[in-house]
Structure 1
Amino acid sequence: MPLSTLLDRARGTLLGLAVGDALGAPLEGLSPQQIRAHYGTVVDYVDGARAWRRKPYRWRLPGLYTDDTQQALALADVLLAEGVVVPDRLAATYLALATPRNGHAGAHRGVGRSFRQVLDGLDRGRPPLECGQDSAGIGAAMRIAPVAIPFRDDPDGLFDAVMAASLMTHRDVRSLAGAVAVASGVRRLLCGESRSPSLLFRVAGDVAAAERRIAEEHGGVVASIGEHGRGLSRAIAHVEALLDLPRPDALHALVEEANAHGARPSCKRPTMGFPPACIPTCFYLLLTTESFEEALIDVVNLGGDADSAGAILGALIGAQSGSSAIPERWLDGLHNRDGIALRGEALALGSADGLDIPDLIETERRLTALEDASREQMLAPPDQRGGLNIRPPR
């Protein structure tokens, strides 16, 4: 593969993740019906004020990504500094983003309860690999894409890196296998595999092998192995049978399959933040849409965990189609576009030498302060609103 193609795909992986996250962020927690009522069909970054007027803390700055991308960028920086995932260094980066905490999450944006509990454990000095939560969440998968870039030719090293990045936050086999699925899909697409049904079976095979390794190597600390130790690989393989169904029937079948793998609470939509729901849905849309734009519009308008689903699908299709396939209006409206793209490029090159990558902690603190100030301005009486510039720099 020409170096220029590899660099475009590596940039596309991280930019796709961030664009999908930012598109979905204002829609997280909404149903498709609520999205249509407030916005029609979302095709660009939207102001969440319409949907979250009574819950302003849920409001997101248009074009700004959430903790999904922040954690991915933290992971990228550790890989660039160390060459591998070093849990202590990743934990230190998470804590640096959270400082000053004052009972809050610092510069982290939109973090859930499980990640707050991880931050609390790290803050109290617990070893990173003892902080993982037993719930079957999507967080390990939403941030994992950067790992696939430097380990694109090393599947065994990729598994070890995924575990090192994931065990500090997740201890359920479905979450860990979900991270493997996304990393495997990104790796294969980055290396030139096509968006075809055969990809499903290769990824499902990678995940099945990983599920066995998780049981063998981490069975003493990982939950749900006995009940759901093969759930994620089966859910991904099941997608192939849905590809020719009408879209509503396929989405219904994805929900039913997710519930067969222990969704608690029961899954009501395919983009729920539960790995056997969200990840197969992303692979389904990867194979049943024609472009980056179509795929991302389709997934975020399903609502649910729209930011994480957008991040996962954006990383997958970005790895295959490259940054050149991302609509320019989405790149123009994305905050920290250059910092994200440069990290993708550096991961592909194996070095950040000569690349002017902005400091992560400084950048994220500035962006979080901008979002907080914008929220305060939105909530102020009309006669007290200033002229805050929230447009991202090119």
Structure 2
Amino acid sequence: MASIACTPPVPAPEDAAGLRDRGRAALLGLAVGDALGAPAENLRPSEIRARWGRITGYVADAPSGTDDTEYAIFSGLLLARHGPALTPGHVEAAWHELIADRAEGPFRGAGFSERGTLENLRRGLAAPVSAQHRHAWSDGLAMRAAPFGVFAAGRPAEAARLVAIDGSVSHEGEGIHGGQAVAAGVAAAMTGAPVPVVIASALAVIPEDSWTARSLRRAVAVAHRGERAVRSAVVIGGYPWTDLAPEAVALAFGAYAAADGDFAEAVLTAVNMGRDADTTAAVAGALAGATQGSAAIPAHWAEAIGPVRGRCLSCVAGRHVLDVADLLVPGPAGKSTPAVPTTQPAEQPPLTRGRVVERGSRERSPLVGADSEGRP
């Protein structure tokens, strides 16, 4: 792979149809990577080989995404409603109304950072104090960061700004840096930028001496030697948890670099490295999907992705990542999708899947197209 020391600026975004396709590919790529990687989560490469040989496709009978896809949808819908005016208050309100203030219900499978955040919110702590828990450095923000890059196509710094706002309720420090690197990388990839520029864009928005930046640089420096070299360069041997943002983000970018942006190769490289495989493959899939567009995603992989089931977040049950992508990418005239205002005056009735409901029948939800119960 070419050096990232001196890279050209991010190219200008292409036409609306091209952006729409890249946005859909980024979020579909995230969901595909999540579903491919889920069975390999927390496994070592040797364990993966013992069970399946090398993973080259879905190994589950009914492949589906995890909390990675559901939280990406959650954050994507919130971003679609508020756009560049998103504030920590909007994020905190959505977490309260749609997750923290509800009975636990089907909330399962989420990571430690989400659990810690919910505990703090239920104790009455507000952002950014709600993010002060033992796993604030996790990859929980990185896994939901791709929608911010889709929305801010060609503007990596803006993508990084917005994802940090979203992350303020749940993460701090390296957890924020990981999300910013992913969001900025996707924003650059959305323009068709070459792989070195995507990587440079990710590094440009985080502190040069941060753990995330150091790990990311190490991963891409050895990417030409393959997945074993990438894994050896960044994995924290002996540490029991696999959700470290500096590690997971570096593995994802390393897989993306090793594949030179090729979608299938990037995702499968991430999957076969194990560790937090659903997240690393989801991030690699988002980067490669935005880089190559939807034609690069194998049809049989894409066809397995349906609306999410709400196994972790009931408020997004029935949502599809492609619908969210279409809300985030400008329409043909260069304007936001009409049914998704960035602000909604109080006198307007709420919106649900493009149709108006009776005023007073449901209170407006913080998420686009959801009623006050969080249903689509």
> Which amino acid in 1 is paired with 2:246?
P
Given the superposition, is the C-alpha separation of residues 97 and 22 from structure 1 closer, same or farther in structure 2, using an over 3 Å criterion?
Answer: farther
1:163 shift after superposition: 1.6
> How far does the alpha carbon of each residue in 1:132-166 deviate from its partner, in whole angstroms, 9 at most, with x for none?
03532111111111112222344443333122111
Letter in 1 for 2:324: R
Task: Summarize deviations over 1:8-44 as a string: whole Å, max 9, x none.
Answer: 1001111111111121122212222222332333333
Q: Which of 269, 279, 294 is equivalent to 2:265?
A: 294
Q: What letter is aligned with 2:294?
A: S
**Higher percent of residues as helix:** 1
Q: Among 342, 351, 357, which residue is 2:336 paired with?
A: 351
Inter-CA distance 97–243: structure 2 relative to 1 (3 Å threshold): same
The alignment yields a C-alpha RMSD, in angstroms, of 3.0
> Is 2:320 the counterpart of 1:339?
yes
Write the letter of the residue equivalent to 2:65: Y
Choose which of 211, 229, 238 in structure 2 pairs with 1:249.
229
Query: Does the 8 Å contact 1:68/1:311 carry over to 2?
Result: yes
C-alpha change, 1:246 and 1:160, in structure 2 (3 Å) is closer
Structure 1 position 234 matched with structure 2 position 214: yes
Task: Sort the Cα spacing of 1:101 and 1:45 in 2 relative to 1 into closer, same or farther, 3 A.
Answer: farther
Which residue pairs with 1:310 in the alignment? 281
SS class of match (1:207): coil
The 8 Å contact of residues 97 and 107 in structure 1, kept in 2 or not, is answered as no
Q: CA deviation at 1:73?
A: 0.9
- Alpha-carbon separation, structure 1, partners of 2:58 and 2:224: 31
Within 5 Å, which residues of 2 pair with 1:79-118?
Answer: 79-84=79-84, 85-98=86-99, 101-102=102-103, 104=104, 106-118=105-117
- Residue number among 32, 35, 38 corresponding to 1:25 in the alignment: 38
Equivalent position SS for 2:109: coil
Aligned-residue offset at 1:335: 2.1
Distance 1:359 1:99, change over 3 A: farther
Task: Measure how far apart 1:322 and its partner are.
Answer: 1.5
Q: 1:191 matched to which residue of 2?
A: 191
Q: Give the conservation status (yes or no) of the 8 Å contact 1:66–1:108.
A: no
Alpha carbons of 1:240 and 1:121: their partners in 2 closer, same or farther (altered >3 Å)?
Answer: closer
| Partner Cα distance (2:277, 2:174) in 1 | 19
Partner of 2:122: 123
Please give the alpha-carbon distance, in whole angstroms, between the structure 2 residues aligned to 1:330 and 1:362: 33
The number of aligned residues is 320
Match of 1:324 among 255, 270, 295: 295
Give the Cα–Cα distance (whole angstroms) in 2 for the partners of residues 273 and 238 of structure 1: 18
Question: Taking structure 2 as the reference length, what is the TM-score of the superposition?
Answer: 0.75
Once residues 170 and 204 of structure 2 are traced to their aligned partners in structure 1, the CA distance between those partners, rounded to angstroms, is 25
Distance 2:113 2:258 in 1: 32
Which residue in the other structure is 1:165 paired with?
166
Determine the C-alpha separation between the residues in 2 that align with 1:179 and 1:310. Answer: 15
Separation of aligned partners in 2, 1:326 and 1:32: 24
Distance 1:298 1:148 in 2: 22
The alpha-carbon deviation at position 344 of structure 1 amounts to 0.8
Cα pair distance change 1:100/1:124, threshold 3 Å: closer
Q: Does the 8 Å CA contact 1:27/1:306 hold for their aligned counterparts? A: yes
Percent identity of the aligned residues? 29
Q: What is the Cα deviation at residue 114 of structure 1?
A: 2.7
Structure 2 residues not aligned, in runs of 5+: 1-13, 309-318, 341-352, 355-367
Distance 1:203 1:65, change over 3 A: same
Q: Distance in 2 between matches of 1:76 and 1:120?
A: 23
Which residue pairs with 1:50 in the alignment? none
For residue 79 of structure 1, report the CA deviation from its aligned partner.
1.3
Structure 1 residue 348: Cα displacement: 0.9
Inter-partner Cα distance in structure 2 for 1:14 and 1:298: 19
Deviations 1:181-211 (A, max 9, x none): 1111111111221123x54334323323xx7
**For residues 11 and 108 of structure 1, what CA distance do their matches in structure 2 show?**
27
For residue 137 of structure 1, give the secondary structure of its aligned residue in structure 2.
coil
Distance 1:248 1:166 in 2: 31
Paired position in structure 2 for 1:214: none
Is the aligned partner of 1:5 residue 2:6? no
